[in-house]
Amino acid sequence: MTRIVVKLGGGVAAQSAEAVLALAEDDDVCVVHGAGAQITSEMERAGIPVRFVGGRRVTTAEALEVVRRSFAEVGAALCAAVGPRAAQLFGDEIGLEAVQVPELGLVGDPLPTVPPVLLELLAAHRIPVIAPLAAGPLNVNADEAAAALAQGLGAERLLFLTDVDGLILDGKVVDLIDAGDATDLLDRALLEGGIVPKLRAAVAAARAGVPAAIGRTAVVG
């Protein structure tokens, strides 16, 4: 049985339930979800400044409260759509680990982790649905959290299901890119926006031996 980690963007989470269930018919599936648009909207409503650096959200203690509430709402909606096999979890409560990035506030660089509860749920044919928070608590970019979790669990695949087709260069979707070429694009700052953390995470996973795909773009080590 193949072990797969799926990262769902908050904007497509609930709509992706059928895809998650299809993958989980024959394989072990662990889901990490975001809630980016909802977090931004709630922060703006509360008058909290919204700022990103390298695709990652600068997070104050006040913002972290909004982050957790938004994750809770998105995770609950996703679990309701997936059904009784889903188990809603918060990363900081199950032992996901990260190293704080002080210049971003309460934000962490995730470390490969193997929370025992995930192994127990997968063994019981459940589908863990995880909000990307780490012990601290720290806010973790969902793409990077999925990559670290895939490494920790020894997953055979990492899939990013998103509302974009994949890595687009010169107006076309790139079907396949190796980690070296992807790193060159990142180092030369030729990309911007949400694809940056996704590609960074896919490269990390691919170099650790976990084949990754962002939409239609496959990233190999």
Tell me whether residue 40 is in a domain. yes
Tell me whether residue 56 is in a domain. yes
Tell me whether residue 201 is in a domain. no
Tell me whether residue 145 is in a domain. yes
Q: Rg of the chain's alpha carbons, rounded to an integer?
A: 16
CA dist 85 and 79 (Å) reads 8
Number of domains in the chain: 1
pLDDT tens digit sequence for 13-58: 778 899 999 999 999 999 999 999 999 999 999 999 999 987 789 9
Q: Which CATH number characterizes residue 99's domain?
A: 3.40.1160.10
Q: Please, which pLDDT band fits residue 151 given cuts at 50, 70 and 90?
A: very high
CA-CA-CA-CA torsion for 187, 193, 198, 199, nearest 10 degrees?
Answer: -30
Tell me whether residue 171 is in a domain. no
Tell me whether residue 177 is in a domain. no
Tell me whether residue 43 is in a domain. yes
Print the domain residue range for 64: 3-159
Q: Structure pTM?
A: 0.93
Tell me whether residue 68 is in a domain. yes
Q: What confidence score (pLDDT) does residue 53 get?
A: 87
The enclosing H or E element of 198 equals helix 195-207
The enclosing H or E element of 30 equals strand 28-33
Query: How does 86-111 read in b/e, with b if 16+ C-beta sit within 10 Å?
Result: bbbbbbbebebbbeebeebbbbbbbe
